[in-house]
Structure 1
């Protein structure tokens, strides 16, 4: 098994050498290819194996976002002549696609990591929704991956060019591609993202055609697919876990379960990037703390009045901004509670990230 096929390169080898340069133990790198709860499908230099977290590593993790995710490069200790492995840590991530877990729990859920390009998938049927895509763009920009919008099921749409133009207006500077797996149309435009060693991930609402895209791009039936519901074009959950596959052209693709609702985790500048023209206009507002609601001299409201900025886009910006501010306040409170509880129950720990502490103790 050649781990270079799964994205291992000089950059990762340099990180590995730097972190383990004073370690003479028999540890090997591997990449998480499937997350099945307590066990992980891992690609190593010895082939595809099952991996489990070591007790010390598991004990060092403070939140769900610290656990290995599909796409992570991990530190392995082989067991039983290489038939399975114990995972002792994670190499620092280059990009992290995450969301807040469903419900009221303040926890991060990692969709995929170390992704070069994030395909944001939207079907050209009754489920087409520009405002929803704006939320996905915030997640993409926050992740460190490059967003690309795929409008699927073009065979079901009679005004694909109009919808493409509408999406381009909502996502300035982001590539938008119209594709149809049924008609096998549009694949050549995706080739630049699928080169050898490049990792792409697909995300979108249920029924938008992600698994169909995986099968089409791979030329094999790797994932099960289902038809959307009649009447509302809403999808049924087909993919139940995240999984990584190698494509014939050498690219690596990650399929993820569909999302009924995307709850954003935090903002690392993604809001301003997704709504770039609003941020640019805001620089000309009379007041530096302008909320763009009713203030005099607001350049953003002036743009809405003149028709150069769509009012629905501004309303979605305001709504998402408030959501992120509220989310951040809850997250800060939760972190303070966690730190306070930990300080009462545990002695002080050495500084450094969790995986390095585990390696030092191993």
Structure 2
């Protein structure tokens, strides 16, 4: 296999002339003539594992600024601007170990707000074509959580697909699909599968063609690792039983990893995520277009959808055309996104303020004109 074909086997897009299909990538290669592209397949606290083909993997040194906190006096880089699983980077030979010299522009990025009081973004995966939002059809089935995942995915540049696992363990699969009927109006595909059955999992093959990359997201115990094993055809990923009380599982996947599939596609498996905070960059209206369409029919433009006369939203809820829990989630997510957007704007303003030339250090007196 030639180096070009090996790269293509792990998602490197080529045009008809055999050149990188992304113009910015061609420019980056010209700026670093001694470098070669590789893809990040694992990210650890101590560094990165990269690959230049489907059967390779080796560690590399990261850029020095990636190893510093953003507040470091010599300049650090926010976590979301460092390489993550799925990213393409350029490496050059260095003493003892190859070193990353550039991060190529991303075609897509899946992010969430990181846990904690301070605003930070956490990158889940980069350069993916499809996001499989995985949810079990057992006691873990939760349409509101699916809506939250879709809020984070849409606008990322990747296509969301809802995958409902454990279809062999429940009797009313059509009932669960009916609970997600609003997704069909948004052209979001929903597939119910038995994650252990290759014939059932074959329903996902349209999104796993050669050269494509997909990422699995979902809570622990949803069946992501089982699904990965079935797609691979081998028991590679560790799996575990779920608790009977709430159908939740332990974290059998401990870190994100990119895995080539027999179909020629690549799959990124991720640990289960218990907390899904918005980044502030999401568009709630896009994810709840049905609610937005109803709100546009209200008599008053500033209708709060409480007890106002002529409220089309309340009429839809009372008439059984809008799930009240979906509307409540619409309001909740809207508040969360607005709050995150305020924190994001504040962080950006602080960043600009730090870079402003001639500004006296914060907390010290300004001695101009003898003033303190």
TM-score tier, shorter chain, comes to 0.7 to 0.9
User: What do you get for the CA RMSD once the two structures are aligned?
Assistant: 2.4
Q: List alignment gaps of at least 5 residues for structure 1.
A: 348-362
Alignment of 1:72 onto 2:87: yes
Instruction: Measure how far apart 1:181 and its partner are.
Output: 2.5
Larger proportion of helix: 1
Alignment of 1:332 onto 2:332: no
Looking at structure 1, the residues matched to 197 and 63 of structure 2 have their Cα atoms a distance apart, in angstroms, of 47
Is the CA contact 1:155–1:183 (under 8 Å) kept in the aligned structure 2?
A: no
Alignment of 1:282 onto 2:295: yes
Is the CA contact 2:87–2:103 (under 8 Å) kept in the aligned structure 1?
A: yes
Partner of residue 229 from structure 1, selected from 226, 243, 250: 243
Q: For residues 192 and 106 of structure 1, do their structure 2 counterparts lie closer, same or farther at Cα, with a shift above 3 Å needed? A: same
1:247 corresponding residue in structure 2: 261
Alignment of 1:160 onto 2:179: no
Q: For residues 288 and 90 of structure 1, do their structure 2 counterparts lie closer, same or farther at Cα, with a shift above 3 Å needed? A: farther
Greater Cα offset, 61-70 or 292-301 = 292-301
The answer to which structure, 1 or 2, has the higher relative contact order (CA under 8 A, 6+ apart) is: 1
1:7 corresponding residue in structure 2: 11
Q: For residues 274 and 8 of structure 1, do their structure 2 counterparts lie closer, same or farther at Cα, with a shift above 3 Å needed? A: same
Q: For residues 47 and 184 of structure 1, do their structure 2 counterparts lie closer, same or farther at Cα, with a shift above 3 Å needed? A: closer
The count of residues paired between Structure 1 and Structure 2 equals 343
Q: Secondary structure at the match of 1:131?
A: helix
Looking at structure 2, the residues matched to 28 and 51 of structure 1 have their Cα atoms a distance apart, in angstroms, of 13
Q: Secondary structure at the match of 1:287?
A: coil
- The 5 Å alignment of 1:111-190 reads 111-170=124-183, 172=185, 173-190=187-204
Is the CA contact 2:163–2:192 (under 8 Å) kept in the aligned structure 1?
A: yes
Instruction: Measure how far apart 1:170 and its partner are.
Output: 4.9
Alignment of 1:41 onto 2:56: no
Partner of residue 106 from structure 2, selected from 93, 99, 102: 93
Greater Cα offset, 158-167 or 238-247 = 158-167
Instruction: Measure how far apart 1:343 and its partner are.
Output: 4.1
Is the CA contact 2:29–2:35 (under 8 Å) kept in the aligned structure 1?
A: no
2:331 corresponding residue in structure 1: 318
Q: Secondary structure at the match of 1:99?
A: strand
Q: Deviations over 1:9-60 (max 9, x none)?
A: 2254533222343x36401111111111231111126942212212256565
Q: Secondary structure at the match of 1:97?
A: strand
Partner of residue 16 from structure 1, selected from 25, 30, 33: 25
Q: Secondary structure at the match of 2:61?
A: strand
Q: For residues 345 and 91 of structure 1, do their structure 2 counterparts lie closer, same or farther at Cα, with a shift above 3 Å needed? A: farther
Q: Deviations over 1:317-346 (max 9, x none)?
A: 011101111111122223323433454799
Q: For residues 346 and 210 of structure 1, do their structure 2 counterparts lie closer, same or farther at Cα, with a shift above 3 Å needed? A: farther
Looking at structure 1, the residues matched to 42 and 359 of structure 2 have their Cα atoms a distance apart, in angstroms, of 33
Instruction: Measure how far apart 1:244 and its partner are.
Output: 0.2
Partner of residue 62 from structure 2, selected from 32, 50, 53: 53
Q: Deviations over 1:127-173 (max 9, x none)?
A: 11011111111111131211101111112111122112222335532
Q: For residues 204 and 24 of structure 1, do their structure 2 counterparts lie closer, same or farther at Cα, with a shift above 3 Å needed? A: closer
Is the CA contact 2:280–2:342 (under 8 Å) kept in the aligned structure 1?
A: no
Is the CA contact 1:116–1:145 (under 8 Å) kept in the aligned structure 2?
A: yes
Question: Could you tell me the TM-score, scaled by structure 2's length?
Answer: 0.85
Is the CA contact 2:40–2:86 (under 8 Å) kept in the aligned structure 1?
A: yes
Q: For residues 241 and 302 of structure 1, do their structure 2 counterparts lie closer, same or farther at Cα, with a shift above 3 Å needed? A: same
Is the CA contact 1:155–1:182 (under 8 Å) kept in the aligned structure 2?
A: no
Looking at structure 2, the residues matched to 244 and 72 of structure 1 have their Cα atoms a distance apart, in angstroms, of 10
Question: Could you tell me the TM-score, scaled by structure 1's length?
Answer: 0.88
1:353 corresponding residue in structure 2: none
Q: Secondary structure at the match of 1:186?
A: helix
